[in-house]
Amino acid sequence: MKSPNLLRGLVFDRLTIPVKAFLRGFLLIRLPCFRQYLWRPVACSLVIVSVFLFFAFSYIKTTTHSIMQLLPDWLSFSGAILVPMVYVIVIVSGTWLVGFVAIIISSPFLGSLSSQTEEHEYGAAIIADESLIRSAISAYKRELTKLRYHLTVLLAALIIGLILSPIAPLIWLIVGAWLTAVQCVDHASENRGLPFSHTRTLLRRNPGPTIVFGSLAVGLLALPFFNVLVIPASVCAGTILWNVLHELSEKRTPTATTRQ
């Protein structure tokens, strides 16, 4: 039987895996051999984020002005608190959502980035031999499969959040982290021709590292304009996480067989 201190150490090591993967991901996108894989997803993300921020600022300005008009005179001082708060909430939550959408739209370009990560870190590029058009069609077909999964999870989270309203923000944070992790990690499975269910099973077996990874991605994607670099870094990190989790699964399998 393992001692409590050893168990705590093992848990801590597993939870630091996503942090190390993210740090490695940011280091990789700085390397010259990765630059040709970066400009397409970065340019795509930059356009999407810029358009969102343009419309978001216009909408927030109109909305806050309408709210201020409804407030009585004795509450007019609250505008100094209310307006910045609305800006922060909308920009942070909206930027994460837009970043998440940018990952989906950029998926045909992110698969090759994941493959380059495999080649650089593990010595073998794993990607289907397809043209850009066929690769894009294949990627978007897979995105439709993931979109159905995302909508199912979001609907379940909405229902649970309505029932357990006091902890609804925590539920949405966990769901956002989970879906972001799924989106970033799945490129490694896709490049190998593995079904989307393989990614879901792998992450379900490793909930701790998955939620930590997803939470880091959510937090970084919520930073306007910086998130255009977070997107390729998170795909590199997700590819590394995929490989590490598979290594951990392979180490656990002989132990389980021996016990039987």
11 in any annotated domain: no
Structurally, the chain folds into a number of domains equal to 1
Residue 213 lies in a domain: yes
The whole-number pLDDT of residue 198 equals 94
pLDDT at 138: 77
Position 5 scores a pLDDT of 43
Does the residue 2 lie in any domain?
no
- State CA 213 to chain mean position distance: 8
Say if 23 falls within a structural domain.
Answer: no
Considering the domain boundaries, does residue 163 fall inside one? yes
Q: At what angle do helices 207-221 and 4-28 cross, to 10 degrees?
A: 40
pLDDT at 240: 94
- Radius of gyration of the chain from its Cα atoms, rounded to whole angstroms: 21
The pLDDT of residue 87 is 61
Q: Which domain holds residue 117?
A: 42-68+80-259
Greatest CA span in the chain, whole angstroms? 75
For 152, what's the count of Cα atoms within 13 Å in the CB-facing half-sphere? 6
Whether 125 maps to a domain, the answer reads yes
44 and 101 Cβ atoms separated by less than 8 Å? no
In a domain? residue 60: yes
What angle is formed at CA 193 by the lines to CA 187 and CA 198, rounded to 5 degrees? Answer: 70
Q: What is the pLDDT of residue 2?
A: 42
The low-confidence residues of the chain, meaning pLDDT below 70, are 1-12, 57, 64-65, 67-68, 70-93, 95, 125-135, 252-260
* Structural domain includes residue 36: no
